[in-house]
Structures are given as C-alpha cells and as structure tokens.
Structure 1
Amino acid sequence: MRYIRYLILAVIGVALIAVALANRGLVSLKLLPEGLARIAGLNPSIELPLFLVIFGGVVVGVLIGFIWEWLREHKHRAEVSRKSKEVGKLEREVRKLKGEKHQGKDEVLALLD
C-alpha cells in the first residue's frame, strides 16, 4: 500500500513539473484594471511565471474551501460538544444513583439487583 502511495505522489509530482515547464512564460499581474488605475493614480503590477500564478490560484482556492467548510461545520461541532457534556453529566448521575442504591448492602446482593 505504501508503494502505491509513493507511485501516486510521483505521478502527481511529474505532472506538476510538466505543467511548470510548459508554462514558464512571464505574465504581468496588475492589482487594478486600467480605468480604475488611472482614477486611483496607482497601478502596482508584478511579473511572474505563469505556473506560479496557476499553482497560487489552486492553493488559494483550496485554502478558501477549507476555511469555508470549517465555518460551515461549526454548528455541528458545537452540537457534538454540547451532547458530549450532557452525556458526561448523565454518566456521573448514573454512577451516583447506583452508589446510593447499593449503599450498605453486600456486593453480591447488589449485583443481583
């Protein structure tokens, strides 16, 4: 199983290297469109290889997806926490009631109850 995982990682690595080599050309990234840049009076831009833009977009998309799911599942995590506290409280109450019921009795007779 471990070798299959290594094989899959190697295939993904080769594919990423192939994409990077095929998209080495420089592209200019600008913060604002031309019209807004003229109004704002600034037009910051940077030149990067295209594969960095592609991989950066994928990484940002995955991070946004993780954060979105984490926020969406908050209500489920809160409910599980609330239920586990309730279960702990009920278990303590059951132990207390069992201790009171068999208090002062022989252990063998308590087991028969």
Structure 2
Amino acid sequence: MRYLRYAILAALAIVMVTVAIANRGPITLRLLPEELTGLFGFSWQITLPVFVVLLIAVMFGVVLGFVWEWIREHKYRRDAVVERRSRVELERAIGAAGQKQKPGDDVLALLEGK
C-alpha cells in the first residue's frame, strides 16, 4: 500500500512539473479593470508565471473545501461531544452504584426474591 501511495505522489509530481514547465510565461493580475483605475485612483497589479497562479488557485480551492467541510460537520462534532459527556456521566453513575453493593449481594438478592 505504501508503494502505491509513493507511485501516485510521483505521478502527481511529474504532472505538476510538466504543467509548470509548459506554463512559464508571465501573466499580469490586476485588482481592478483598467477603466476603473482612474475612478478609484489606484491600481494594484502583479506579474507572475502562469503555473504559480494555477497552484495558488488550487491551494485556495483546497483550503476553501476544508473550511467548508469543517463548518458543515460542526453539528456531528457537537453531537459527539454531547454523547461522550453523557456516556462518562452514566459510567460514573454505574461505578458509584456498583461500589455501594458488596460482592455477592446480588446472588443473595436473587435467591431471596424466589
């Protein structure tokens, strides 16, 4: 199983390096269209290689997906905490009830009940 994981990671690395080599050309990213720069009085822009923009977009998507799932699964984590607390409380109650009786009392109680 470990070798399969290494093979998949190696194939992914080869694909990413190939995409990076094929997309080395510069690209300019602007915050606002050129028509609006005069209206607002500022223009932020950055020039990066295309593969960097692609990698940043993929990383942003992965992080956004993780955050989305973490928020979506909040109710399940909350329910698990509530159930864990109630389980611990019940275990304490059972332990306290078990300590009050002496060993062997339950057998005598069954025999006397008949």
SS at 2:32 equivalent: coil
For structure 1, the residue ranges without an aligned partner over 5 or more in a row are: none
User: Structure 2 CA distance, aligned partners of 1:43 and 1:92?
Assistant: 65
Once the two structures are TM-superposed, the CA of residue 98 in structure 1 deviates from its matched residue by 1.7
User: Structure 2 CA distance, aligned partners of 1:51 and 1:37?
Assistant: 27
Q: RMSD over aligned Cα, in angstroms?
A: 1.4
Written as runs of structure 1 = structure 2, the 5 A alignment for 1:49-88 is: 49-88=49-88
Point out 4+ residue stretches in structure 1 off by more than 4 angstroms: none
Percent identity over the alignment is 39
- Return the letter of the residue paired with 1:40: F
Q: Can you list the C-alpha shifts for 1:23-57, whole angstroms capped at 9, x where unaligned?
A: 01000000112232221111111110000001100
Query: TM-score by structure 1 length?
Result: 0.88
Written as runs of structure 1 = structure 2, the 5 A alignment for 1:1-113 is: 1-100=1-100, 102-103=101-102, 107=103, 109-110=104-105, 112=107
Q: Can you list the C-alpha shifts for 1:3-37, whole angstroms capped at 9, x where unaligned?
A: 22111111110000000011010000001122322
- Return the letter of the residue paired with 2:78: A
For structure 2, the residue ranges without an aligned partner over 5 or more in a row are: none
Once the two structures are TM-superposed, the CA of residue 111 in structure 1 deviates from its matched residue by 6.1
Once the two structures are TM-superposed, the CA of residue 2 in structure 1 deviates from its matched residue by 1.8
